Amino acid sequence: LHSKLPDVGVSIFTQMTLLAQETGAINLAQGFPDYDPPQELLEALARHARTPGHHQYAPMPGLPRLRAAISAQVARLQADAPAPDPATEITITAGATEALYAVLAAVVRPGDEVLVFEPAYDLYGPAIRLQGGIPRYVRLPAPHFRPDWDAVRRVLSPRTRLVMVNTPHNPSGAVFTAEDWHELARLLDGTDALVLSDEVYEHLVFDDAPRISARQHPALRERSFVLSSFGKTYHATGWKAGYCIAPPALTTEVRRVHQFVTFAVSTPTQHALADALEADITDAHARGLATFYQEKRDHFRTLLAGAGWDLLPVPGGYFQLARYDAFSPAKDVAFAEFLAREKGVAVVPVSAFYHDGLDEGLIRFCFAKEAATLEAAAARLR
Ligand code: PMP
Ligand code: GLN
């Protein structure tokens, strides 16, 4: 078979999880919590699993009650933007992963250009290329990984179909500010380029910084697909449930693809998530995530302080980037392998987030872990 992705191997996250299993290393590589979803959510899932009639296909766009609950929460948390219409603007997908793929398949034609900020989540480039699209990369410079809007302007062209944004950003944690959204809107004014805003870590913004969605900029809202993930919000990456919010005309196109990729998402899962959202009218869970993860960030950084690691700032998300040049001149892939095999901690080499494997001597730790896990890992890393 003539591969459509001959240069793509098993994802770095899978590789590092396998290496952790093989070596017994503590897995701070693949991004997932080592704790479970809230007890109420687990009980809701068990309840719906026992409920007759909750086991056949959900409606293609998602359960109406889940879409209504999402709309209500988004309206509360983004009070300056109109509530998304559950009927025409919200689609439940099999994680943000499916939403990313559905958006790209819906809008990218062969030869279309897609602007991608790098480092970038590993699926962006290959998923664009599968549509015949051409990724155009703009580097986010370390240590702050802030967009350079002049560089963006130089890469935009009449062939730019889509701009992909990820805020808070994986792997750096960088967060778009109101000025960033304003700059993006200004550059896209008068073009017909669309925006995909991957906001799966939307609730994980630290130090009281404002968390601003693409939806909160009126000019961008009209041209944006905004993605979120219950995997991140409810510590349930294995449930594979997320959603896409977009204006009706864009949502129609996403659903055209979604109906042929998964058709619908697991019914009992959607009922359980609807229960959790409906019960939490003060959004205590979502609002509490910033503090919850900020404490983990600070704990991990304190544990590693003074040991020679150069810890980059972490404004959001659940990853800590670190420079290791005080210990080793090795390439990041080799250093990650050494850490797993010799020191018993699995991490992700950040070169995996660059299409050309750019190696800036950085590794990524996931700190979505119990305090005891972070302490055990830090003892080895020290
Ligand atoms: N986008 C980014 C930036 C992510 O980090 C992840 C999760 N690793 C996803 C999308 C995928 O989300 P989900 O697990 O809901 O498919
Ligand atoms: N989003 C996770 C990460 O960045 C990985 C998800 C996956 O393994 N596909 O680590």
How far does the centroid of ligand 2 lie from the alpha carbon of residue 249, in Å? 30
Q: Tell me the H-state helices in the chain.
A: 12-23, 39-49, 64-77, 95-107, 124-130, 149-155, 178-188, 218-221, 230-233, 248-261, 267-279, 284-304, 332-338, 371-381
Ligand whose nearest atom lies closest to the CA of 368: 2
Q: Report which ligand 1 atom has the smallest distance to the Cα of 170.
A: 3
Q: Whose CA is nearest to atom 7 of ligand 2?
A: 13
Which ligand has the shortest distance to the CA of 17?
A: 2
The residue contributing the CA closest to ligand 2 atom 2 is 31
Q: Is 351 in the pocket of ligand 2 (CB under 6 A)?
A: no
pTM above 0.90, yes or no: yes
Rounded-to-10 torsion of CA 185, 72, 169, 260: -90
Which tokens is 323 given?
């420079």
% residues pLDDT > 90 (the chain): 97
The pLDDT value given to residue 36? 98
Of the candidates 270, 265, 262, the one whose C-alpha atom is nearest the C-alpha of residue 101 is 262
Nearest to residue 374, comparing CAs of 37, 38, 34, 36? 34
The domains located in the chain, with CATH, are 12-37+284-381 (3.90.1150.10), 40-279 (3.40.640.10)
Q: What is the pLDDT of residues 313-365, one digit of tens each?
A: 999 999 999 999 999 999 999 999 999 999 999 999 999 999 999 999 999 99
Q: How far apart are the CA of 291 and the centre of ligand 1, in A?
A: 21
Low-confidence ranges of the chain (pLDDT < 70): none
**Scanning the structure block, which residue is given the tokens 């990729």?**
261
Write the residue with the smallest CA distance to atom 12 of ligand 1: 96
Ligand 1 atom closest to the Cα of residue 237 is 14
Query: Given the CA of residue 123, which atom of ligand 2 is nearest to it?
Result: 9
Please list, residue by residue across 332-348, b when 16 or more beta carbons sit within 10 angstroms of its beta carbon and e when fewer do. Answer: bbebbbebbeebbbbbb
Q: Considering every ligand atom, which ligand is closest to the CA of 174?
A: 1
Q: Is 229 in the pocket of ligand 2 (CB under 6 A)?
A: no
What single string gives the DSSP state of each residue in 344-368?
SEE-EEGGGGSTT----SEEEEE--
Order of all β-strands in the sheet with 242-245: 90-93, 242-245, 224-229, 194-198, 160-166, 113-118, 134-139
- Output the pLDDT for position 205: 98
- Give the ligand with the smallest distance to the CA of 103: 1
Pocket of ligand 1 (CB under 6 A): 31, 95-97, 121, 166, 170, 198, 200, 229, 231, 237, 242
Residue 11 has a pLDDT of 87
Atom of ligand 1 nearest to the CA of 198: 1
Report the separation in Å between the CA atom of 192 and the middle of ligand 2, taken as the mean of its atom positions.
31
Closest ligand 2 atom to residue 366 Cα is 10
Q: What separation in Å is there between the alpha carbon of 350 and the centre of ligand 2? A: 13
Tokens representing 223 are 């041209």
Residue 177 DSSP one-character state:
-
Ligand with the closest atom to the CA of 12: 2
Ligand 1 centre to CA of 53 (Å) is 30
Q: What is the pLDDT, as a whole number, of residue 9?
A: 87
Q: Do residues 234 and 41 make contact, with C-beta atoms less than 8 angstroms apart? A: yes
Burial level of 15, CB count in 10 A (0-12/13-18/19+)? buried
Best substitution site from 10, 32, 367 to test ligand 2's pocket, by max atoms within 8 Å of Cβ?
32
